[in-house]
Amino acid sequence: MFIDGEWRGAASGATFDSTNPATGAVIASVPDGGRADAQAAIAAAERAFPAWSATTAYQRSDYLRRAWQIMMDRRDELAKRMTEEQGKPLKAARGEVVYGADYLLWFAEEAKRLYGTTIPSSRADQRFIVSHMPVGVVAAITPWNYPMSMLTRKIAPALAAGCTVVLKPAESTPLCAVDVIKVLAEAGLPKGVVNLVTAKDPAPIGQEFVTNPAVRKITFTGSTKIGRMLATQAMSGLKRVSMELGGHAPFIVCEDADAVHAAKGAPLVKFLNTGQACISPNRFLVHRSKVEAFQNEFKARMLKMKAGSGFDDAVSIGPLINEAAIAKIDRQVKDAVAKGATLLCGGSRLTDNGLDKGCFWAPTLLANVTPEMLIYREETFGPVAPVIAYDSEDEALRMANDTHYGLAAYVYTPNLARAMRLYEGLRFGIIGINDINPTSAAAPFGGMKDSGMGREGGREGIADYLEVKLGGFAI
């Protein structure tokens, strides 16, 4: 762990293993921190806050820019660590490292854009000035599916705003977090500005975050269940909260769309990170006249996908993160088939050619999916694509919005008017129109309803780390 500028073990001396999901092999042991370690990290961040918040925006920008350069210089090394610990193919891991570095560079610039305003007064002897101040100590809890970029997406705006940070990374990918913190430490950040607490059991750390009065903001990416619990507990201390939670993205193929073209893009986003991405489509809503062409092209592309170790350049499907993920997908697929879905390909765990030691699932395509099936309602987080036929635009919009989630949605149509209608009618925070990658460090990322609150990235991404201060001057 990294606390107050020093690498140290847990106060208890306990450790836990980080394993490779492709092979089950132990990579290394890391400190198994507890509440006392979280308290020490928060205390260090609180001590560091006055001096760090007093630095100029240009100074903070320089630190972030140096960190960006180091991360880019080490992108191959960092990508190999990610493939080893998280499992995604090496090419995708390199892409994530660059994406994560982009947040450091973007917020290095946004640090210098924290403009204030003046407000005219009705009194001749009065002036109003509005400025923005850092909220204080930020507690960040990050997921395993994007174990480097999700760190920088939270840490970069916090540092740019003048906040100090305590990070609790996912217990499945602690080594990726260690490597990112090493980048920030090498960039020369003063001690206590960024702190890392690793733990096998996140509950005690989370409890300290939500109850410690020194923590003024919680930022969390993970499940809706845990996010709701953290937000509820944090409100007792009136802490600032931002949440990036689950998704259940619809992918709408309209009547006038080129079904083959849509089916070429669909697997790229569906099987992104082996389907373990909150913006991956979970429901393919295809106009009935386009279903056959869409499914045929989709299936043909899926059958070419190879599963295995991410270090094999021919592999496009890596392992799932653990056995629980396998069990969830198995339950959803069996439920769908039992209720009338047609299994077009896949549908089982992969164990041949040495894959039995890892958590691999065959890319799966289901046809004739209906609302009674679990997969229609539940987030899958895996390589399963369910196809649902519809007959009208209104029906597609109703089906797409028929979920408690509201993170991402996708639409394929060449008709501008239809694209605008669906963009405006879909109750999701991110809409890709003929676009399977509607994300960037420069763009706000976040969802509606049970998919969370607040935005990360873009100029909106720094706002949640700032307090608005008003000065009324009598002159």
Averaged pLDDT, 273-289: 96
Averaged pLDDT, 163-180: 98
**Chain region(s) in the chain for CATH 3.40.605.10:** 2-245+449-474
Tell me the H-state helices in 54-130. 57-73, 75-85, 90-110
Q: What is the pLDDT of residues 424-463, one digit of tens each?
A: 999 999 999 999 999 999 999 999 999 999 999 999 999 9
Are 162 and 53 spatial neighbours (Cβ–Cβ below 8 Å)?
yes
Averaged pLDDT, 259-275: 95
Output the pLDDT for position 353: 87
User: Distance (Å, rounded) from C-alpha 193 to C-alpha 48?
Assistant: 6
Q: Which residues are catalytic?
A: 244, 278
Q: What does the mean pLDDT of the chain come to?
A: 97
Are 365 and 344 spatial neighbours (Cβ–Cβ below 8 Å)?
yes
Residues in the chain: 475
Domain 249-433 has CATH 3.40.50.300: no
Q: Structure tokens of 245?
A: 């939670």
Q: What is the pLDDT of residues 392-430, one digit of tens each?
A: 999 999 999 999 999 999 999 999 999 999 999 999 999
Which residues, 6 or more positions from 354, have their beta carbon under 8 angstroms from its beta carbon?
none
Percent of the chain with pLDDT over 90: 100
pLDDT above 90 for 359: yes
Output the pLDDT for position 226: 95
**Chain region(s) in the chain for CATH 3.40.309.10:** 249-433
User: Distance (Å, rounded) from C-alpha 240 to C-alpha 133?
Assistant: 14
Output the pLDDT for position 232: 95
Q: What is the pLDDT of residues 57-95, one digit of tens each?
A: 999 999 999 999 999 999 999 999 999 999 999 999 999
Whether the model clears a pTM of 0.85, i.e. scores above it, the answer is yes
Domain covering 2-245+449-474, topology:
Aldehyde Dehydrogenase; Chain A, domain 1 (3.40.605)
- CA of residue 447 relative to chain centroid, distance: 11
